[in-house]
């Protein structure tokens, strides 16, 4: 089982994902939000690249609309991209058409992969368990921010690589080193050393960062089924 990491959604090429499991990470905040929504009973999340596509899916399936542009809820959408909004009272039993600037784009970029898994600090242990069980070549896809690597995504990737014991390549070694450097101060790292984290603090989303820093809060793995992301136990 070989494990590689790419640092931005833009670096994902169809030929680099074929035959592999892709693990998409966008800690701030798309993957954290999807994990939270599904853990709180959401039936399925449809990741889309554009708000128009999300609106079309919502019309067709009666789904809620969720997501952001510039970090803020899109006009006319039911939910933004704060994981704290995705509470059981709002999402239980509902489908959500979801679009974000980088995270959902990274998920769509992995369309040619054999399988897609969504990871965050909240569900790292369970993602590791799944990858250990599958023993397949894996590409960890850090979404990054507008084509630039995001520290928190690499640190989360490093956590997975470390627990899989899959070191060896310079990029994976570097990710594990960053995980070891920041593992005891994840929230502080995101608030001070991450460009996107600092932007979120300025926008008033500091509580989202504290929440996103929670380790292994959910024993649940979101996986792709058709065009949707669902809880793995629903997938079989
Ligand atoms: C993204 O996909 O770009 C992020 O999730 C943005 C955000 O924090 O809302």
Q: Which domains are delineated in the chain?
A: 3-225 (3.90.1560.10)
Least confident of 76-90, 155-169, 201-215: 155-169
pLDDT number for residue 168: 77
Q: Taking the CB of residue 161, how many other CB atoms lie within 10 A of it? A: 26
The closest-lying atom of ligand 1 relative to the alpha carbon of residue 30 is 5
Q: What are the tens digits of pLDDT across the range 70-94?
A: 999 999 999 999 999 999 999 999 9
Tell how far the Cα of 1 is from the centroid of ligand 1, in angstroms: 30
> What is the arithmetic mean of pLDDT over 129-138?
97
Tell how far the Cα of 168 is from the centroid of ligand 1, in angstroms: 30
* Position 129 confidence tier, pLDDT thresholds 50, 70, 90: very high
Q: Is 26 in the pocket of ligand 1 (CB under 6 A)?
A: yes
Cβ atoms of 15 and 139 closer than 8 Å:
no
Take atom 9 of ligand 1 and give the residue whose Cα is closest.
Answer: 71
Q: Is 71 in the pocket of ligand 1 (CB under 6 A)?
A: yes
Tell how far the Cα of 144 is from the centroid of ligand 1, in angstroms: 9
Cβ atoms of 79 and 37 closer than 8 Å:
no
Tell how far the Cα of 104 is from the centroid of ligand 1, in angstroms: 9
In terms of Cβ atoms closer than 10 Å to its own Cβ (0-12, 13-18, 19+), residue 106 is buried
The closest-lying atom of ligand 1 relative to the alpha carbon of residue 29 is 5
> How far does Cα 147 stand from its chain's mean position?
16
Cβ atoms of 36 and 90 closer than 8 Å:
no
Ligand 1 binding pocket mutation candidate from 196, 203, 211 (most atoms within 8 A of CB): 196
Q: What are the tens digits of pLDDT across the range 29-42?
A: 999 999 999 999 99
| No. of helices (H) and no. of strands (E), the chain | 12, 10
> What is the arithmetic mean of pLDDT over 212-227?
97
Tell how far the Cα of 71 is from the centroid of ligand 1, in angstroms: 6
Q: Is 81 in the pocket of ligand 1 (CB under 6 A)?
A: yes
Structure tokens at 72: 């803020």
């Amino acid at each position: 089982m070989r494990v590689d990491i790419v640092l931005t959604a833009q670096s994902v090429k169809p030929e680099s994902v074929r035959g592999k499991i892709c693990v998409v990470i966008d800690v701030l905040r798309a993957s954290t939000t999807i994990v939270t929504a599904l853990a709180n009973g959401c039936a399925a999340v449809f990741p889309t690249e554009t708000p128009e596509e999300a609106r079309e899916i919502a019309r067709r399936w009666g789904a809620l609309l969720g997501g952001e542009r510039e970090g803020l809820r899109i006009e006319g959408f039911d939910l933004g991209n704060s994981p704290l909004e995705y509470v059981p009272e709002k999402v239980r039993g509902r489908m959500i058409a979801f679009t974000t600037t980088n995270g959902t784009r990274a998920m769509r970029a992995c369309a040619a992969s054999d399988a897609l898994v969504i990871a965050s600090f909240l569900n790292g242990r369970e993602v590791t368990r799944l990858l250990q069980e599958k023993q397949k070549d894996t590409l960890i896809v850090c979404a990054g921010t507008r084509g630039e690597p995001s520290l928190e995504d690499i640190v989360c990737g490093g956590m997975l690589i470390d627990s899989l014991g899959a070191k060896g390549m310079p990029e994976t070694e570097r990710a594990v080193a960053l995980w070891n450097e920041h593992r005891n101060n994840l929230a502080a790292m995101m608030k001070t050393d991450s460009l996107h984290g600092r932007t979120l603090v300025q926008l008033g989303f500091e509580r989202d960062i504290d929440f996103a820093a929670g380790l292994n809060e959910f024993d649940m793995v979101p996986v792709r089924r058709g065009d949707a992301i669902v809880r793995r136990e629903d997938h079989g």
